[in-house]
Chain A
Amino acid sequence: MEITAIYYLVPALIMFCCGVYGFITRKNMIAMLISLELMLNAVDINFAVFNRFLWPGQLEGMFFTLFAIAIAAAETALAIAIIINIFRAAKNIDVRSLNEMKF
C-alpha cells in the first residue's frame, strides 16, 4: 500500500477541526490555548506534507514549519503571561466572565 498525501491530510484536518471545536467550546483559557496549538500544528503538518509531495527537491515548506513552531512557542509564552495576569486580576480564567469589553 502506497502512502499518499491524503493519509497525512485527513488526520491534519481532523486535528484542525478538533482545534476549532475546542477553541469555541472550552471555557478555560488554558484549554483554549491548547486548542489553538492544535490548529497550528495541523497547519504545520500540511506545510510539511505539501512540500514533501508537491516539490520534493525544495525546503521552503519545511522552513515555514520550523518558523511556525518557533513563533508558536513565543506566542504561547506570551499568552500564558496574559492569562496569568488575568488570573491575578480576576481570580479566574473563565472566558465567559471576561466580558468587560462590550457595547
Chain B
Amino acid sequence: MDVTVPILILAIPLFMFLLLGLTGMKMSHKLAGTLGTLGMGTVLVLAYVTAFTYFFGGAPEFIDAAGNRLQYLVFDQTWLAFTQNLVIKIGFLLDPISAMMLVVITTISFMVHLYSLGYMRDHHGVYEHGFQRFYAFLSLFSFSMLGLVVAPNIFQMYIFWELVGASSYLLIGFYYRKPSAVSASKKAFIVTRFADLGFLIGILVLSYYTGTFNFTDFTSSAVAGMEGVTQVNIHTAEGILNIFQSSPAPMFMGASVLTWALVLIFMGGMGKSAMLPLHIWLPDAMEGPTPVSALIHAATMVVAGVYLVARLFPLYLMEESALMIITVVGALTALYAAMVACTQVDIKRVLAFSTISQIAFMMVSLGVARMDIHHGLGYMASMFHLFTHAMFKALLFLGAGALIHAIGSNDYTDMHGLRKYMPITHITFLIGCLAIAGIIPFSGFFSKDEILSSCLGNSTIAYVWMSAVAGLTAFYMFRLYYLIFWWKEHKVHEGHHAPHDQPWVMSLPLIILAVISCVAGFIPFGNLVSWNGVPYDFMAHFNWSVAAVSLVVAIAGIALATVMYRKENELPAKFKNAVPALWRWCHHRFYWDELYMFITHRIIFGCICRPLAWFDRHIIDGTMDSFATITNKASDAIKPLQSGQVQMYVWYYLIGALALGGITYICLL
C-alpha cells in the first residue's frame, strides 16, 4: 500500500495546528475556521479511502485467502534507537479497529469543525475571543488522536496518549478567563496524569519481560500460544509466551507480572475513560466549549481506554483476573453513572454521566468477552458500541450545544417546552435519545444488544445488572428529553426574542449524525471487526430473546420517564421526597468529589505536604540562610578595616611584614 495517504492523514492536522497556531492571529476569523475545516475535510476523505481500501479492497496484505483480516504495517520507522534491543519506532498500523477508529475520529472531528463555525460566535455573528486558537487546538487534538489509534507499538501510543491529554487540557481551559474552566482543565490533566503513571509502569513491566513494544508481537504470539485458534498474522516474537509460562513464572505480591502489567495498563485506560474511581474529571470537563465536549469528552478521547484494552485484548484473554477486574469496574461505573445522571440539572452533566455509563458498557463488554463465547462476541460488541455511541453521543452533545447556544444557559430549568421553537434540534435530539435508549431500529439497539448477549454468555449476574442499567439509561435520557422539550410551555422573557433553530452549519452536522444513528445499526460489523480477524455473521449470534427483553426494559424506562416528566406534575417531587437520602447522594454524585477533596487536602496536603513544607522552609532553607547570615555578619564585622585612611593600611602592611619576617626568622633558627 502506498504510504502517501497514511502520512497525509497524520501530517495535515499537524500542519494545520502549526499554521493556525503560529499565524492564526494574523488571519481573519473566517479564514482560520475555513482552513481548519477544509483541512479536516481532506483528512476525512483520505481516512475514508484508507478504511475502504482496507475493508473492501481485498488486497492480499489486508485479507488472506481464508477471508481473515490481517494486521498490516503501512510503515514503521525507527525513531530512537537507545540500544540494539530498545528501539522506539513511529509507524502506522492498519487493522480492523484502527481503520474503524480512523472513520469515527475523522467523521466526528469534521462535524465538530463544521459545527463550531456556527457555535463559536454569538447571535450577532461576532466571533468568540480566540476563535483561531480554538481551531488550532482542534487540529492538534485530531492529529494526536489519529496518531494514537494507528500506533503500531505501545510506546508511540503512550506518546500520543499524552498528547491527547494535553490537547484536552488546552481545550477544557479554552475559556481561560473563567476560574471554573481553569480548575476543570487542571483537574482533568492531573487525574489522567495520575492514571498514566500506572500506564507507564505497566508498559515498562510488560516490555521488560517481553523485550518488545510492538502490538503485533504481543498479540500474535499470545494468540499463537493458544491451540485451535486461527493465528492473526505471521509476525511472531519467539519466547514471549515462554517467559509467561516459564516456571517459576515471575511473580510480584502474589500475582504474576503479566497480571500486574495488564492491570496497570488498564489503570491508564480507567483514567482516560473515566472509570470509577478516576471518573471525577469528566463531568467538570464540560466547562469546555460544547463542540469540544462532543469531540473529546464523548466520542473519541474518552474511548481511548477501551481502545487500549481492545488493542491488547489477546494478552488480556490470557489473564482471567485482569478481565474480571475490568468487568467489575465497568459494571460498578455503569450503574453509578446512570444513577447520578438521573438527578443532574445541567444538561451537559447528564450527558457526561451518560458517557461514563456507556463507556463502562464497552468496558464490561470487553471484560466478559471470551473466545469461546460466541467467538469473542464481546470484543466485537464493544467496538460496535464504540462506533455507534460516538455517533449518537456526538449528536446529543451537538444538540445540547445548539440548545445552550439558543438559551444561554446549561440548565434544563431554563429550557422546558422548546419543541415548537427548535424543531430540527428536537427531532435530531429525539433520534439520539432513541438510539442511546436502544430502540429498534436505531443503532444503539444493535450494539447494546450484542453487549447484553455477551454478558449473558458469561454470567447471568452481569446480564441482569447491565440490563437494569440499560433501562436506567432509557429513563434518564428521556427524563432529559422531556424536561428540555416538554414539561411546560417555554417562557420567553421580556425583551428577549424567542429561541429558534441554529444556522445551517450547525444543523447540517446534527442531521448527518442523526442519519448515521438511524442506519449504523445495520452495518455488518462482525464481518469487519473481530478479536482475531476471523469474520463472522453476528446475526447468527443475535439472541432474539435478549433483544426482546432489552427492548421491553428500554420501553419501560421511557414509559416511566413519560409519566413523570411529560407534563408538569408533582410526581418527581414526590419521588424525591420518598427516597431523600438516595436522591441526595445521587445529586451530589455520591460525594466522590468531596472524598477526593478530603483525601488530597486533609490527608495528602495536611499530613504529608505540610510537614514536608515545614522541613523545607525551616531545615533546608534555614541551613542555607544561616550560611548566608554568618558570611554577612562576618563581613560586617571586618569591613571597618577598610577605613579609607592610607596610613592605617601602611600600619597593617608593616605589622604583617614584620610578623612574616619574625615567623621566617623563628622557623629558620
Contact = CB atoms under 8 A, between A and B. Distances in A.
A99 B642 CA distance: 10
Contacts of A103: 639-640, 642
Contact of A96 (B640, B645, B650): B645
Interface string A17-30: 00010011100000
B642 A24 contact: no
B228 interface: no
A18 B654 CA distance: 14
Interface string B614-645: 00000000000000000000000001101111
Contact of A95 (B639, B646, B654): B646
Contacts of A20: 654
Interface string B163-189: 000000000000000000000000000
B378 to A, nearest CB: 83
A96 B654 CA distance: 19
Given A20-B654, A24-B654, A102 B642 contact: yes
Given A20-B654, A24-B654, A99 B643 contact: yes
Nearest to B643: A102
Nearest to A103: B639
B647 interface: yes
Interface residues of B, number: 11
A101 interface: yes
A20 B655 CA distance: 12
A96 B646 CA distance: 8
Contacts of B643: 99, 102
A43 to B, nearest CB: 15
Interface string A87-101: 000000001101111
Contact of B647 (A24, A100, A102): A24
SS of B interface (majority): helix
A39 to B, nearest CB: 11
Interface string B213-234: 0000000000000000000000
A98 B646 contact: yes
B651 interface: yes
Given A20-B654, A24-B651, A24-B654, A100 B644 contact: yes
Given A20-B654, A24-B654, A99 B645 contact: yes
B644 A23 contact: no
Contacts of A95: 645-647
Contacts of A99: 643-645
Contacts of A24: 647, 650-651, 654
A99 B651 CA distance: 16
A96 B644 CA distance: 9
Interface residues of A, number: 12
Interface string B461-494: 0000000000000000000000000000000000
A103 B640 CA distance: 7
Contacts of B644: 98-102
Nearest to A101: B644
B638 to A, nearest CB: 9
Contacts of A25: 647
Nearest to A95: B646
A66 to B, nearest CB: 27
A103 B641 CA distance: 9
Of A23, A98, A103, most B-chain CB atoms within 10 Å: A103
Contacts of B639: 103
Interface string B559-576: 000000000000000000
A58 to B, nearest CB: 28
A99 B639 CA distance: 14
Nearest to B651: A24
Contacts of B654: 20, 24
Interface in A20-59: 20, 23-25
Contacts of B642: 102-103
A49 B102 CA distance: 105
Contacts of B650: 23-24
A102 B646 CA distance: 10
Contacts of A23: 647, 650
B650 to A, nearest CB: 6
A27 to B, nearest CB: 8
Interface string B649-661: 0110010000000
Nearest to B647: A24
A33 to B, nearest CB: 12
A101 B360 CA distance: 80
Contacts of B651: 24
Nearest to A96: B645
A25 B647 CA distance: 8
Contacts of A100: 644
A90 to B, nearest CB: 13
Nearest to B640: A103
Contacts of A102: 642-644
A93 B642 CA distance: 20
B110 to A, nearest CB: 74
Interface in B234-275: none
18 contacts: A20-B654, A23-B650, A24-B647, A24-B650, A24-B654, A25-B647, A95-B645, A98-B644, A99-B643, A99-B645, A100-B644, A101-B644, A102-B642, A102-B643, A102-B644, A103-B639, A103-B640, A103-B642
Interface of B: 639-640, 642-647, 650-651, 654
8 nearest CB pairs, A to B = A99-B644, A102-B644, A103-B639, A103-B642, A101-B644, A102-B642, A24-B647, A102-B643
